[in-house]
Amino acid sequence: METRKLASDELMLRRRRSRRTALVMGMVAVAIYVGFILSGVLAH
């Protein structure tokens, strides 16, 4: 029974970490996208 609880806790921790990684990567992608748009707008 203890092994299942440990596995469940580990799974929740992995999900939390992967969600945080996905959010960070998404923010980086949006920042790059906005940067390209702003560089194109401000260059002219």
CA distances (Å), origin 5, targets 1, 2, 10, 30, 35: 7, 5, 8, 37, 45
In DSSP notation, 4-15 reads HHHHHHHHHHHH
pLDDT at 8: 87
Place of tokens 């940067």: 35
Say what the pTM is: 0.70
Rounded to whole angstroms, the maximal C-alpha distance in the chain is 66
pLDDT at 2: 58
* Residue from 24, 16, 13 nearest 32 by CA: 24
pLDDT, tens digit (0-9, with 9 covering 90-100), for 1-44? 456 777 888 999 999 999 999 999 999 999 999 999 999 998 86
